[in-house]
Amino acid sequence: MRHLAAYLLLVAGGNSSPTAEDVTTLLGTVGVTVDEERLNQLISELDGKDINEVIESGKDKLLAGGFGGGGGAVASAPAAGGGAAPVAEKAAEKPKVEEVDALDGGMDMFGGGGGDY
């Protein structure tokens, strides 16, 4: 992702076809190391393509597949042959924490000494 983000920043900055060296230089300015293999793969996949067209085609694929984010947890089925009753686990009770009133002692956020208002 960092390689793609740097590539897109360079395009937004006016470089219509950033090279691997451009991306490496940009990432190096903020102390990010480059994975040469992944960067070269990205550059080869985007070589000669209009980034706006690539984004547009990707958007269509994203919309076709939905906006992801995994589903909920799946309940597992009980084990076969089960004559055993489920074991109820008792959650450990949390100790009660007393709330302390911030105005105890007559102080308020302005340093006043009580209820003069």
In a domain, 56, yes or no: yes
Between CA 42 and CA 115 the distance in angstroms is 66
Q: What is the pLDDT of residues 68-102, one digit of tens each?
A: 555 555 555 555 555 555 555 555 666 777 766 55
DSSP assignment of the chain: -HHHHHHHHHHHTT-SS--HHHHHHHHHHTT----HHHHHHHHHHHTT--HHHHHHHHHHHHHHH-------PPPPPPPTT--SPPPPPPPPPPPP-----TTTTS--TT---S---
In a domain, 80, yes or no: no
- How does residue 20 score in pLDDT terms, banded at 50, 70 and 90? very high
Question: Which of 24-33, 56-65, 85-94 is least confident?
Answer: 85-94
CATH of the domain at 48: 1.10.10.1410
Q: Range of 10's domain?
A: 2-65
